[in-house]
Amino acid sequence: MTNEILTISNFNVNYGSKKILDNINLSFKKNTINCIIGSSGCGKTTLLKSINNSIVFESELHVDGNICYDGKNISDIDDSTLRKEIAMLMQMPVVFPFSLYKNLEYVLDYYLKIDKTRKNDMIVDILKKVQLYEEVKDDLNISAEKLSGGQKQRLCLARALLTEPKIILLDEPCSALDVYNTMCIENLLLSLKHESTIIIVTHNIQEAKRINDRIIFMKDGKVVEDNENFFENMSTEEARAFINVN
């Protein structure tokens, strides 16, 4: 039984004649936190979007190569099923324009046919899991748009966790958050790795240091270094230069 949940092979993304991703070959083990680092525009977010096929929302990108999830090519998996299994959180948390409760109910109603009591229990449980319950327990009907940035990000994470994803993709989830909320998210990710594989794009090197099981360093659309002991033993000059600058 293989421990790999995701394999990317000979994967390229082009925008006209410009290469956004250049021959990416990576595999991801179950229950690990994989941090992707690199300067802006190096293709990190495109790589994340490729994994759950949300790259199709970007027009005029040409994609070729293979991404296999759980042994199956993602092009053979229905998009809805794929995105249920591979959740993605964007850099700026996007909450739906209704109450906090309904944001979570929206997902539950789609996947489960359960009664109100069970639904309430699940919502409370998931809010506790993302450490948001104590802050919002008195008013679950508050508009989700009124929450703070950190609360919104945790709500988005809670919403994604309701689909019980096997892989969670995060695109700089803490870039707009204060220290408290950043620590909250980091602790959450550390606890979630026992259930899911986490692939996180970050610009925060300290954050990557705190939570990583493995670092993937990208430059100009290529994977330059893929290392489980990145900070102790960098093998490329580019990676050393990047870390020194950051």
Partner 1 sequence: MKTLSKIIKFFSYTSFILLMGIIIFIFLYTVYRSIGIINFEFIFDSPRGMVLGEEGGIFPAIIGSIWFSFTALILAFVPALCSAIYLVFYLKNNRVKTFINNVFENVAAIPSIIFGLFSYAVFVYMLGFGRCILSAGVALALMIFPFLERKIEKSFLEVDKNLLIASYNLGIDIRRTFIKIVLPLCFKEIISSVILSLLFAMGATAPILFTGGVAFATVPNSLLKPAMALPLHLYLMIAQGASQINRAYGVAAVSLMILFIFSTLAYCLSHKTYKKV
User: Which chain residues interact with partner 1 by CB under 8 A?
Assistant: 52, 54, 57, 59, 79-85, 87-88, 90, 92, 94, 96-98, 106-107, 110-111, 156, 159-160, 163
Q: What is the CA 208 to chain-centroid distance, rounded?
A: 14
Looking at the Cβ atoms of 58 and 220, the one nearer to partner 1 is 58
Cβ atoms of 161 and 126 closer than 8 Å: yes
The helix/strand count (H/E) of the chain reads as 9, 10
Q: How far apart are the first and last CA of the chain?
A: 39
For 173, other C-beta atoms within 10 Å of its C-beta total 29
Which residue in this structure is represented by tokens 């705190």?
Answer: 210
Least distance (Å) between residue 194 CB and partner 1: 22
Identity of the amino acid at 119: K
Looking at the Cβ atoms of 159 and 219, the one nearer to partner 1 is 159
Cβ atoms of 71 and 89 closer than 8 Å: no
Looking at the Cβ atoms of 88 and 100, the one nearer to partner 1 is 88
Looking at the Cβ atoms of 24 and 168, the one nearer to partner 1 is 168
